[in-house]
Amino acid sequence: MTSYIFDTSFLISLVDINDINHAQSVEIMKDLTVDESRFFINDLIYSETITVLTYKKWTDSLDVLESFLNKIRINFVNSNMSDYVNLFKSLRKKVSIADISVVYDSIKYNTVPLCFDKEIMKIIKQVRG
């Protein structure tokens, strides 16, 4: 069974039909078999995603997002904020703590990141070696 972790960039692309990566995110999700996959999100990414949707005044999208996450039986992971901060400090990259949380949790839980943020993907590759 393959495990995946969401980043905000992917989730926004999934619900925003005008996003440059929308079609790709939809195709990726079509290719994944929910019954043969496990999906994860952490609190920081969930909070960031709903904040972005609210700022864009896409309140209807909040319901769509929640329905989607329930359908795929999302699992919330809760690593310690101090672990995120320690990795953030050690890497000294210009990324957010939320971005680092995806890096940390992807490695900790051995998940494939669902992400369009090239810097996050670069850091994951670097940290995994």
Q: Do the beta carbons of residue 14 and residue 22 sit within 8 Å?
A: yes
> Residue 45 — very low, low, confident or very high, per pLDDT cuts 50/70/90?
very high
Q: Do the beta carbons of residue 105 and residue 40 sit within 8 Å?
A: yes
Helix-, strand-, coil-residue percentages of the chain, each rounded to 5 = 65, 15, 25
For the cut 80, the answer to whether the pLDDT of residue 61 exceeds it is no
Q: What is the pLDDT of residues 63-116, one digit of tens each?
A: 888 888 989 999 999 889 999 999 999 998 889 999 999 999 999 999 999 999
Q: Do the beta carbons of residue 93 and residue 103 sit within 8 Å?
A: no
- Indicate the domain borders of the chain: 2-128
Q: Which of 26, 14, 9, 31 is nearest to 120 (CA)?
A: 9
> What homologous superfamily does CATH list for 2-128?
5'-nuclease (3.40.50.1010)
Kindly report the pTM of this predicted structure.
0.90
